[in-house]
Structure 1
């Protein structure tokens, strides 16, 4: 009986300690991450940020870092999304990304949830920010 009382005291302390201050500062991009970003948006012109994009246009997600994802619509159009807070493990590209959206579009505030491929356990959880379109300039012709 004393062990149960002791366990009842330890568990709440452990939970409180686990919910301490979280560092939400994004890590600087690595050389490889910068190369991926430049490959996709280099030479393109940034447009006005949008709060939502068509889900149909957002099938090709590219993980750049723990806080940046890209949605490639075509070779001429890519949306850059800086997450509202870093999503630990997103850049590893080993977990499955499950998108939880609340309508027929991907919108700011929608949730990305990382799920381990082997165990099925949920890892990082984050929410989308604004979508900045990057378009290739039209060539004169």
Structure 2
């Protein structure tokens, strides 16, 4: 009987004790791709703002493609980045055909198709997401 009580107490103690888990090694961050490095260099020293559905594109400037990463639009001191829902469809060997629903804005609902520069063949579709503004922080003082 005493032996049974001792075993019950020991079992109860195991249930009440916090579980000890072996520490898993920290996951190493993945190496940045060539496109991610290029974008990081463009955004160096800048701070991300609130994403917006549309950006003003007047006066017209070119949209820069960064392979497998993002589309970038520079307007004054702001760099707008659209990481897209399909970054793997971005290839700077392709050109973009954009069907905009507004003459003065580029919006996440606009249609973007890609075509090969060599043969002008349809090569894919890019699904836009919100545009993230990156600006230099205000100077303190």
Q: Do these two structures clear the TM 0.5 threshold for a shared fold by scoring above it?
A: yes
Conservation of the 8 A alpha-carbon contact between 1:58 and 1:72: no
Over the aligned positions, Cα root-mean-square deviation in angstroms equals: 2.2
- For 1:103 and 1:111, the matched residues in 2 are separated by 12
Aligned to 1:51: 53
Aligned to 1:100: 99
Larger Rg: 2
Conservation of the 8 A alpha-carbon contact between 2:64 and 2:72: yes
- Report the alpha carbon displacement of residue 30 of structure 1 after superposing the two structures with TM: 4.3
- For 1:58 and 1:87, the matched residues in 2 are separated by 26
- For 1:137 and 1:61, the matched residues in 2 are separated by 23
- For 2:99 and 2:86, the matched residues in 1 are separated by 16
Count matched residues. Answer: 111
Conservation of the 8 A alpha-carbon contact between 1:51 and 1:107: yes
Higher helix share: 1
Conservation of the 8 A alpha-carbon contact between 2:35 and 2:68: no
Residue 47 to residue 57, structure 1, CA distance change in 2 (3 Å): farther
- Report the alpha carbon displacement of residue 59 of structure 1 after superposing the two structures with TM: 1.9
- Report the alpha carbon displacement of residue 45 of structure 1 after superposing the two structures with TM: 0.9
Aligned to 1:121: 121
Residue 86 to residue 124, structure 1, CA distance change in 2 (3 Å): same
Stretches of 4+ aligned residues off by more than 4 angstroms? none
Gaps (5+ residues) in structure 2? Answer: 1-29
- For 2:86 and 2:125, the matched residues in 1 are separated by 9
Gaps (5+ residues) in structure 1? Answer: 1-27
- Report the alpha carbon displacement of residue 118 of structure 1 after superposing the two structures with TM: 2.8
